[in-house]
Every structure is written in structure tokens, then in C-alpha cells.
Amino acid sequence: MALIVQKFGGTSVANLDRMHAVAERALRTQREGHEVVVIVSAMAGETNRLLGLAHQVSPVPDMRELDSLASTGEQVSAALVALCVHRLGGEARSLLGHQVQIRTDGAFTKARIRTIDGSKLLETVRRGRVAVVAGFQGVDDEGNITTLGRGGSDTTAVAIAAAIKADVCEIYTDVDGVYTTDPNICPRARKIDRISYEEMLELASLGAKVLQIRSVELAMKYGVPVHVRTSFSDRPGTLVVGEEGLEAVVVSGVAYDKSEAKVQLINVPDRPGVVASIFGTLSKQNVSVDMIIQSPSREGGATTDVTFTVAKTDLARCKELIEQCARQIGGAGIEYDPDIVKVSIVGLGMRSHAGVASRMFEILAGEGINIQAISTSEIKVSCLVHSRYTELAVRALHEGFGLDRAAGAPGEDAAATA
């Protein structure tokens, strides 16, 4: 007998038929001898409907009230899914953030979970009931309702799995797992059977949208096995686990991210403190800078070029700041380029295999793709290229590292040729 957490997103509870299917799956799992905790999101579209009402009232609505408003979406789903379980002859109880005591800090709309009291959940499942928990919500120390921000129900699911020491946290979604790359632009992408938290974290950070970063971090911290799978069939999906027992594949996935824009400061005086002053100003305004490249000095060490990327959504508000900085520094020209993509390869095996990065550069060069910037971590290499090369670069890397072949060893072989 296992203790299983099953999380269903908005499309999986989009209407009563889908909720019925969720209830059926939970009861089937129970009949197989397991204890089941279900976490539900709001019905697809409901959160946006509620927030839309709030924004009709005020362009900058109070965040405490937003959270109380938005949390009703999950409350409705939880009650209806519990009713579906009853309808099928099972027993169930819906449970809300304040009933499970999902305690968070007081940061409305993006609260972080501090503690969860697992006792009510365990009591519920031990009585043979399905516990149906409203995701995305908690309460702060004063009893105010808080919400966890984007992808919050994933976080609820993983945090609850950690609190009750569940055997697995199943995340049901509309895709059937984590892929070696985006199947929409690379038809030969394959589903990954097992992947490490670290790799999943890099893939999520690099634009793969299956799991939210926070929930992966949480799963890694508490060692919760996460099973990403589809709610439309019984096929197993992708298991995200610790790296022990995992074969260290050199490259397990190729990710791409078009959400950034490139900013280039030209002829910046090459003095100590100049670059620091630019990024200091940006970070004070909460603009996150991703890749930073400083070119070698020109004119006998007098000037340099500084290139960096920021989220396109931040670009409008940081343009003015950057121009102000440039004026203060003196003599710098500024160029903006939104037509870029960050293409990345991720793999645990990079730690022990040399030459992976240079193999990546060779593959891109072989396709005539110019690399504008590079950044690396222990288990990933990212290259900034012109956005017109997105599909070409992804497909070439996917094939070049053997990801279109069967899992495991072939990836290593491909890397070994680098």
C-alpha cells in the first residue's frame, strides 16, 4: 500500500465530465490498495474570470482581497470533485488551505509555504476517504487567505507530499511527460522516462513549462518523487527523482526560451565600477538580468562593449533606466534586439564528460548559426542565437546529441564523439 498524491490542473478539471474522470482515477488508485490525496486547481479559465472582475473594479487591486477572491476557484473544484467521488460510490472530503493548515508567509499573491499540518489529511485517508485539497491556497498567521502564485497547485501538491511523506506525487497534465525537447518544433522529440531534479530544474528554468521551478526545488529539497503524466490515459509519464540510481546521461534535453531580449551597451568606458553601477541600478528596480558578456577591451583598454539579456516583459520599464545609466557613464551607444533565442542543452553527465560545450558549438556552426553569447552551469550550456534559427538549432542539437534515438547510452555515444 502506498500513499499517493495526485494533482490535477485546470484543464483536467475544466468541466464536470473531466472532474468525473479525476474522481474515477482516484477511486481506481484507492481500489488498487493505496491511500489517495487529490490536489485540484481551479476550473480552466475560472481564475482569470475572477481576477478579471477584480481588475474591472481597480487597475491595482488590493492583494489581500485578490487572494480571497481567487482562492474560491479551487474551493469550487475541490467540492465538486468530492461530490463526483461520492457519486461514484466512494467517500471523499474537500479540504481548504485553512482546514489543512497550509501556513504561509503573508506575501499575498506569491506566498511561500512554511508549514503544513499533515494530521487532518492522514486522518482522512486512513478512514478510507479521498482527501480532495484545494491547491494554490494557504493561510497566514492571522488567518488571512493567501495564494502561492503561478503554478501554485503544483507547489501545494509537492509540499503536501513532503509533509505526509507520500510515496509519490503525481502531476497530471495535458502532456504525457517531459520531452527531450519541444515536440512542436522537433517531431523526433522523445518522452523521458526518468530525469533528475537538477536536470528538471534547468529545463524548467530554460523554458520547458511542464513543471514550475518552485515545485521542482521543493521536491528536490524533500526528496519527493514526482511523476509527470497525462490525465487522458494510464500511460506512465516522466519520473523526476534524485540522481542516485539514475544513469548520468550527458545530454538529456534541449530547451529554448524566446522570452528574453538582448541589450548591448557600446563603447562603455572600461573602468572599475562602471558595469557594477549598471546592474546595481537594474537590480534595485527588480529587473532580472540573465546572460552577461563583456567583450575584450578596445582602443588600448579604454572602452568595452557590455551585452546582457532581460525578460521582454521587463524591457519597456528598463529602457529608460538603461539610457539614464548610459548618459551618466558617458559615451555609450545602446542597441536593443528582441529577435533572439536562448538554446540550451542539459544533462547530469556533463559533470564528468569534457567537450560537451565544444560539441554544441560545432553542431551550431555546422548549421551556419552564429553564437551571440554563451553561458554555462555545471549541468547545462546555453547559447544565444538569432531567433530565426530556433527550430534549426533545436533540431540539430537534438539529433547531434542522439536524443532522437532510444534512451540512455546512445546519448553518451554521441557526446563521446565530441
Q: Give contact residues for its own copies (rule: CB under 8 A).
A: 16, 19-20, 50, 53-54, 56-58, 61-62, 64-66, 68-69, 71-72, 75-76, 78-80, 82-84, 86-87, 93-94, 96, 98-99, 143-145
State the Cα–Cα distance between residues 120 and 94, nearest whole angstrom: 11
State in angstroms the smallest separation of the CB of 80 from its own copies: 6
- Is the Cα torsion angle 191, 196, 197, 200 positive or negative in sign? negative
Nearest Cα residue to 25 out of 170, 210, 193: 170
Q: Which three cell numbers stand for residue 211?
A: 513543471
State in angstroms the smallest separation of the CB of 110 from its own copies: 18
State the Cα–Cα distance between residues 370 and 383, nearest whole angstrom: 10
Nearer to its own copies among residue 143 and residue 273 (C-beta): 143
State in angstroms the smallest separation of the CB of 298 from its own copies: 54
Nearer to its own copies among residue 144 and residue 375 (C-beta): 144
State the Cα–Cα distance between residues 383 and 388, nearest whole angstrom: 14
User: Are 79 and 94 contacting, i.e. CB atoms less than 8 angstroms apart?
Assistant: yes
State in angstroms the smallest separation of the CB of 142 from its own copies: 9
Query: What's the distance, CA 161 to chain centroid?
Result: 18
User: Are 418 and 363 contacting, i.e. CB atoms less than 8 angstroms apart?
Assistant: no
Nearer to its own copies among residue 25 and residue 194 (C-beta): 25
Nearer to its own copies among residue 49 and residue 351 (C-beta): 49
State in angstroms the smallest separation of the CB of 20 from its own copies: 8
Burial (CB < 10 A; 0-12, 13-18, 19+), residue 365, is exposed
Nearer to its own copies among residue 61 and residue 149 (C-beta): 61
Nearer to its own copies among residue 65 and residue 105 (C-beta): 65
Nearer to its own copies among residue 16 and residue 392 (C-beta): 16
Q: How far apart are the first and last CA of the chain?
A: 47
State in angstroms the smallest separation of the CB of 181 from its own copies: 40
State the Cα–Cα distance between residues 99 and 138, nearest whole angstrom: 9
Q: Which residues contact 88 (CB under 8 A, 6 or more apart)?
A: 20, 23, 24, 27
By three-state DSSP, how is residue 30 classified? helix
State in angstroms the smallest separation of the CB of 68 from its own copies: 5
User: Are 238 and 246 contacting, i.e. CB atoms less than 8 angstroms apart?
Assistant: no
How far is it between the farthest Cα atoms of the chain?
A: 81
Nearest Cα residue to 398 out of 254, 184, 255, 250: 254
Bridge partner residues of 337 (DSSP) = 262
Nearer to its own copies among residue 133 and residue 220 (C-beta): 133
Nearer to its own copies among residue 101 and residue 303 (C-beta): 101
State the Cα–Cα distance between residues 201 and 193, nearest whole angstrom: 16
State in angstroms the smallest separation of the CB of 214 from its own copies: 25
